[in-house]
Structure 1
Amino acid sequence: MTPLPYLQKANSSFIDRDVTKMGDLIKEWSGEKIRGVGLIGAPLSKSSISHSGACFAPGTIRKALSGYSTYSIEDTIDLAKWIIQDLGDVSMHVTNIEESQNRVYETILQLFKEHPSWLPIVLGGDNSITYPSIKGYQEAKGEVGVIQFDAHHDVRNLEDGGPSNGTPFRSLLESKTINGANLVQVGIRDFSNSKPYHDYVNNHGVTVYTMKDVRHTSMKELMETSLKKLEKSVDSIYVSVDMDVIDQAQAPGCPAIGPGGMDTVDLFEAISYLGEHPMVGGLEIVEVDPTVDFRDMTSRVAAHVILNFLKGKQRGGLTFD
């Protein structure tokens, strides 16, 4: 048969021999020992208190991540030697929200039992997956500190609507999975929370940095203070990023968009700084709704959160190759 050198697979992307894309590093997991980063999807959004297509986000975030290069020109760091295994998505129950959340918990915990040194990056889904994700992480890692980027406290009462995307930190605190003194909330936004819930987190000793704090204090200083506080009392630190912490102009694909939010550059700086710390052992990204996004802008921001997290890890001396 005559070779056809210009024929390629349908819809294949342009290939440049001098560019390594993140997609080149991401390999489908076949059940072997997880030696590096494990991407895992938690496509749950039926628990959202507002309309949400966040169940589609793991796919769009993966697609966005795969298209970026591995090279950070700002730090002259190349992520090209990282091992990133895509573990797939947790299968959700069709109708039972609590069963779906339990599946997330059991999956995270079992993965840590069998692969204690893997670095999880959890792709939500709505914010309700935070409770089971951190619960599984905590049972594997011991005392956990959490740095939460969010416009909301997410401590709604459990009586009015059950375990929703507005209740994960209420569940974590009430179940004593985490201690309020070991929770830091960053980016809490004006006119997006109620006084009873502000009182609730204050009464539980939660550290709260509002958007006013973010505007008036450098992100590096906020993160440095947070890490110094947590590292004295916990065994590991988990980072939770609700994408609605970002201003609506830069992250339109969130169910709860609003003005006055964080700039993406500030978020990237914070995540990179946190990634550098050896006690930071997990990252999750939630509340991306591709059905209301524009040109996957919000999924692209989420992809850069992951890139900056890995850049920080490499800057801190951690690589998997």
Structure 2
Amino acid sequence: MSNYKYLQPANTPFNDRFTTKAADIIETWDGIETLKGVGLLGAPLSKPSISHSGAVFAPGTIRKALQVFSTYSIEADIDLADWNFYDLGDVKMHVTNITESQTRIYKTFSRIFSEEPNFLPIVLGGDNSITFPSIQAFAKAKGKVGVIQFDAHHDVRNLEDGGPTNGTPFRSLLETKSIEGKHLVQVGIRDFSNSKIYREYCEEHGVSIYTMKDVRQRALLEIMEESIDLMKNEVDAIYVSLDMDVIDQSQAPGCPAIGPGGMDTSSLFEAIAFLGEQSLVKGLEIVEIDPTVDFRDMTSRVAAHVILNFLKGKQKGSIR
């Protein structure tokens, strides 16, 4: 300690003794202690992205964004400060081999989900290509899985034209029978962002599709309730997949596939909090943030709010 009263280590942030920042409650997991509570898992892969993407950097910027916000929800009068919150680290990616990187995600997540069944995983991508190995591993550990997918795109592109990209994860999940189409709900599918053949592919597999027009004309919470009701007697667990490009480009400028006419963040936060309340919802992933094209980490800050709203819902649900 310095003998000088006002001299402190460089880059020390302001500290308010009465405020707890979200990042302050996160501990590094040692890989040995039994996991309870919530755990962050990074999957920094963006080489399979159809368009240029620096999503490899997103797990770091989302973690950084958690330093900005407090643990207290004034809207719900709930404080998250007592959560057991661990950072499990990032899966090490192969430098050049995309398939090997996806295999590493699958093997790592399969083991963690199986050996540590009592924690709530929050996966930080990476681009949407991580969704295939992530949900495949989740299904292996949890049994029959349903997915609520927030996305501007169907992500069921053919694999012949480009291999396992960020546009193919749900096709891979359906064709490997990791999930059933009737247990997949797509929310926020956007105009002029998809092709007819892929909509027909989803419909043929029994996928439930809610376009942005549906979101605009109906209450999003009503859609969430329908989605839960659809699967609650059908699956063992529900996984929430959030592609940040579901949000309008004005509020999420750091997405590789930005576009107009998307969802607003307030509606998304409300939906995520509701899903957090549901005991059947046992996993969340956030993908498709490119910090290299973001503005003041706006999009990563949205992601941090998604995490906090998800945990707010979980805490609210446990209180009830």
> What interval of TM-score do these two structures reach, taking the shorter chain for normalisation?
over 0.9
Q: In 2, Cα distance between the equivalents of 1:85 and 1:199?
A: 41
Does 2:75 correspond to 1:40?
no
Closer, same or farther: CA 167–60 of 1 in aligned 2, 3 Å: same
Partner of 1:296: 297
- For each residue in 1:270-291, what CA deviation from the matched residue of structure 2 results, as whole angstroms up to 9, or x when unmatched? 1000000001000000000000
Closer, same or farther: CA 2–47 of 1 in aligned 2, 3 Å: closer
Cα deviation, residue 318, structure 1: 6.9
Q: In 2, Cα distance between the equivalents of 1:9 and 1:169?
A: 48
Aligned pairs (5 A) from 1:31-110: 31=31, 32-110=33-111
Aligned pairs (5 A) from 1:121-200: 121-200=122-201
Q: In 2, Cα distance between the equivalents of 1:318 and 1:131?
A: 33
Cα deviation, residue 301, structure 1: 0.4
Provide the TM-score with structure 1 as the length reference: 0.98
Aligned residue for 2:154, secondary structure, equals coil
- For each residue in 1:288-312, what CA deviation from the matched residue of structure 2 results, as whole angstroms up to 9, or x when unmatched? 0000000000000000000100000
Provide the TM-score with structure 2 as the length reference: 0.98
Contact 2:2 2:8 in 1 (8 A): no
Does 2:19 correspond to 1:19?
yes
Letter of the aligned partner of 2:295 in structure 1? F
Q: In 1, Cα distance between the equivalents of 2:5 and 2:17?
A: 16
Partner of 1:7: 7
Partner of 1:309: 310
Partner of 1:236: 237
Cα deviation, residue 36, structure 1: 1.4
Q: In 2, Cα distance between the equivalents of 1:27 and 1:66?
A: 13
- For each residue in 1:77-133, what CA deviation from the matched residue of structure 2 results, as whole angstroms up to 9, or x when unmatched? 100101111011000000010110111111111002221111100000000000000
For structure 1, the 5+ residue unaligned runs are: none
Aligned residue for 1:112, secondary structure, equals helix
Contact 2:47 2:98 in 1 (8 A): yes
Closer, same or farther: CA 284–2 of 1 in aligned 2, 3 Å: closer
Q: In 1, Cα distance between the equivalents of 2:151 and 2:265?
A: 13
- For each residue in 1:139-160, what CA deviation from the matched residue of structure 2 results, as whole angstroms up to 9, or x when unmatched? 0000000000000000000010
Q: In 2, Cα distance between the equivalents of 1:93 and 1:182?
A: 32
Q: In 2, Cα distance between the equivalents of 1:79 and 1:259?
A: 34
Closer, same or farther: CA 222–96 of 1 in aligned 2, 3 Å: same
Q: In 1, Cα distance between the equivalents of 2:86 and 2:40?
A: 6
- For each residue in 1:192-219, what CA deviation from the matched residue of structure 2 results, as whole angstroms up to 9, or x when unmatched? 0000000000000000000000001101
For structure 2, the 5+ residue unaligned runs are: none
- Report percent identity of matched pairs: 70
- For each residue in 1:33-64, what CA deviation from the matched residue of structure 2 results, as whole angstroms up to 9, or x when unmatched? 11111101000000000000000000000000
Q: In 1, Cα distance between the equivalents of 2:170 and 2:56?
A: 20
Closer, same or farther: CA 152–87 of 1 in aligned 2, 3 Å: same
Report the RMSD for the aligned CA atoms in angstroms: 1.2
Partner of 2:121: 120
Cα deviation, residue 3, structure 1: 2.1
Cα deviation, residue 23, structure 1: 1.2
Aligned residue for 1:158, secondary structure, equals coil
Letter of the aligned partner of 1:140 in structure 2? A
Q: In 1, Cα distance between the equivalents of 2:67 and 2:185?
A: 31
Aligned residue for 1:220, secondary structure, equals helix
Letter of the aligned partner of 2:184 in structure 1? L
Q: In 2, Cα distance between the equivalents of 1:83 and 1:244?
A: 30
Query: Across the two proteins, how many residue pairs are aligned to each other?
Result: 319
Aligned pairs (5 A) from 1:200-211: 200-211=201-212
Letter of the aligned partner of 1:228 in structure 2? D
Cα deviation, residue 2, structure 1: 7.1
